[in-house]
Structure 1
Amino acid sequence: MQEWLYLVIGIAVVGVLAIAGFVGTRVRRTGRLPEGTTTDVITAPPETHAPPVEPEVEPEPEPEVEPSAPTLERPEKPASRLVRLRQRLAGSNALGRGLLGLLSREKLDEDTWEAIEDLLIAADIGVAPTQELVERLRTRLRVEGGQAPDARTVLREELIELVDPTMDRALQVSGEGDVPGVVLVVGVNGTGKTTTVGKLARILVAEERTALLAAADTFRAAATEQLATWGERVGVEVVRGPEGGDPASVAFDAVKQGVERGVDTVVVDTAGRLQNKQGLMDELGKVKRVIEKQAPVTEVLLVLDATTGQNGLIQAKVFSEVVDVTGIVLTKLDGSAKGGIVVAVQRQLGVPVKLVGLGEGPDDLAPFDAAAFVDALLG
């Protein structure tokens, strides 16, 4: 009996195992249980193939680039500028050619000498200097006779004497001891004063001097910006104040900084003042007095437009009464200027022409030399 019992149990176990295997196979193939089956079976959802997600890559920060310092210009040395002075004056000024033409006549009669006088006066030399020059020319050509040099040589020598080569034309841009030289630049509107200050800064840099500019023309914002542009080109700093502020205060601060920094020269640009505005002229005197609380003013340059003729002489006289002008800067000398203004303004003030403006270029400001000037007039 036991053997039969074991046999029946074995057959039952085999049957159960067979049914379980059949159900598992069906589930794997169809994904669902056979009908009528109540066995709890958990099935996995069908696999989906989503595109792979790439990890976000943060952009590398751009390397910081330090702003490069602006390339500074190298101004031309003052000595080489005299070459251009001769070239430009020789091509634009008719004074020398006219005088040589008259003096080269076979017969120098009274009509010829009157024509020479008219030519000199028209060139803005002035009546008194003209009469002196004509008298010397007549004497030399008459007395020396056949022994006299040619007319060109005589004229050259007498013109150089008239321009006066003995005047000291050196710019006083140095102070004593540790105090910087102070250059005060004055003049009326339209003469090129601010431009002259910028060009003067280039001369100082060309001579390897350290400089500081003062924008004391506080009533004209364009003047301050213009001066700043000139300074940036050669690495010269500009001290400025608020628009409409006190010019004397700006000048004072600039000279104070110049003393503290140990610079060689401080150049002060002032407002263009009309000679008939007494209040403004008094203010210019105040600027000079305030500056001298820090350091002496070593040079006062009056900028004149060479084309203005006798009007420039009136300006020169008024300014000299206020600030003791020590030197003249003649701008636009290569244009329609007649050249004689050099003689006239020196006679008017008793001070030398020290600089001449030759054109619009940044280095078209040159030291004045009497012999080079006369040679340029005579071509």
Structure 2
Amino acid sequence: MSFFKKLKDKFTTSTDNVTEKFKDGLSKTRDNFSNAVNDLVAKYRKVDEEFFEELEEILISADVGFNTVMELVDELRMEVKRRNIQDTADVQSVISEKLVEIYQGDEGNSELSIQENDLTVILFVGVNGVGKTTTIGKMAHHFKEQGKSVVLAAGDTFRAGAIEQLEAWGDRVGVPVVKQSEGSDPAAVMYDAVQAAKSRKADILLCDTAGRLQNKVNLMKELEKVKRVIEREVPGAPHEVLLVLDATTGQNALVQAKVFKEATDVSGIVLTKLDGTAKGGIVLAIRNELQIPVKFVGLGEKMDDLQSFDPEKYVYGLFSELVDQAEE
């Protein structure tokens, strides 16, 4: 049974709204990537070296990343040889299968580390303009929908308007925001936020941080201080350090991920604005080259368009037309 057939059996009869969100949110990337692969398959009837070379170009143009493309295509060559695949149309299903393998990585690490019957502290990092504050607001909504009590910490005291923006999200979602004045010590804000979360017996504390990268040393020192304060007040916290990246920035997102990985113990990626790019392959590059799992993706503007990342649903979103056409 082809991998497309397995995906079809799993998703095409599903009434799961999340599956449709992946399909709709990845329409630009699908139109770009799938159309290019379809054209390639139509051009070559036989799997040969020229076919693989053009496939490399397609993957690179989708922002998959050079190193990841080389590894992926090498694996495809071996798999095609092992299965004795001759028809280029059969390679599409193998590509989707390999993509899922890379996205999944170490099994289970795409789940958030949520503490049962105790306070979970999640620290958000990332440069300005990537949608960090919006992501925090949407994640607060996500947890409230699960019946959890949430508190927000306005730790970005550097950017003008950052505190007000987080307060607006707090009002919209209906969760309290702990803040100080602009220019205050972020670590002091975090201390106050932890105490407030404890006194309210909150389940989740979501912490915003400043996004400046101009001076990496200052960034590192500030984040280290913030983490020390959090860990002192809540042993083992922060339980997640989520790096927010803008998918529309392409390879620049990979550069940002490398810098923040050096500066902090990033435990997961939130990739925003995936619906706004035709080059969604950047997810693969980050996952494969940095070994950081993608935990959430932004698939639209609505409150519930921030979704937990699911490798199979992502690949279904990329190849949905071909999956739907898979032979019974």
In the superposition, the TM-score normalised over structure 1's length comes to 0.74
**Which one is further off, 103-112 or 220-229?**
103-112
Counterpart in 2 of 1:58? none
**Which one is further off, 235-244 or 127-136?**
127-136
How far, CA to CA, are the matches of 1:146 and 1:108 in structure 2? 8
Amino acid corresponding to residue 233 of structure 1 in structure 2: R
Contact kept, 8 Å, 1:317 with 1:348, in 2: the verdict is: no
Aligned pair partner of 2:77 in 138, 152, 163 = 138
Aligned pair partner of 2:146 in 170, 183, 207 = 207
Deviation at 1:167, TM superposition (A): 4.7
Point out the structure with the larger helix share. 2
Counterpart in 1 of 2:134? 195
Aligned pair partner of 1:110 in 41, 49, 54 = 49
SS of the residue aligned with 2:18?
helix
5+ residue gaps in structure 1?
1-78
CA distances 1:348-378 after superposition (whole Å, capped 9, x unpaired) = 3322000011122222211101011111111
Aligned pair partner of 1:249 in 188, 195, 198 = 188
Deviation at 1:234, TM superposition (A): 2.4
Counterpart in 1 of 2:308? 367
Contact kept, 8 Å, 2:157 with 2:184, in 1: the verdict is: yes
Counterpart in 2 of 1:155? 95
Query: Given the alignment of the two structures, is residue 270 of structure 1 paired with residue 209 of structure 2, yes or no?
Result: yes
Aligned pair partner of 1:164 in 104, 108, 133 = 104
Contact kept, 8 Å, 1:183 with 1:299, in 2: the verdict is: yes
Aligned pair partner of 2:259 in 297, 301, 318 = 318
Query: Given the alignment of the two structures, is residue 86 of structure 1 paired with residue 23 of structure 2, yes or no?
Result: yes
Counterpart in 2 of 1:96? 34
Amino acid corresponding to residue 40 of structure 2 in structure 1: L
Counterpart in 1 of 2:324? none
How far, CA to CA, are the matches of 1:146 and 1:109 in structure 2? 10
Deviation at 1:92, TM superposition (A): 4.2
5+ residue gaps in structure 2?
1-15, 321-328
SS of the residue aligned with 1:292?
helix
SS of the residue aligned with 2:26?
helix
Counterpart in 2 of 1:281? 220
Amino acid corresponding to residue 182 of structure 2 in structure 1: E
Contact kept, 8 Å, 1:288 with 1:323, in 2: the verdict is: no
Contact kept, 8 Å, 1:167 with 1:352, in 2: the verdict is: no
In the superposition, the TM-score normalised over structure 2's length comes to 0.84
Aligned pair partner of 2:174 in 226, 230, 235 = 235
SS of the residue aligned with 1:249?
helix
Query: Given the alignment of the two structures, is residue 129 of structure 1 paired with residue 68 of structure 2, yes or no?
Result: yes
Against the structure 1 CA distance between its residues 275 and 351, is the aligned structure 2 distance closer, same or farther, given a 3 Å change threshold? farther
What RMSD over aligned residues (CA atoms) do the two structures have, in Å? 2.1
CA distances 1:196-224 after superposition (whole Å, capped 9, x unpaired) = 11111011011111110001111234221
Contact kept, 8 Å, 2:219 with 2:263, in 1: the verdict is: no
Choose 1 or 2 for highest CA Rg. Answer: 1
SS of the residue aligned with 1:150?
helix
Deviation at 1:86, TM superposition (A): 1.4
Deviation at 1:180, TM superposition (A): 0.5
How far, CA to CA, are the matches of 1:130 and 1:370 in structure 2? 18
Against the structure 1 CA distance between its residues 141 and 231, is the aligned structure 2 distance closer, same or farther, given a 3 Å change threshold? same
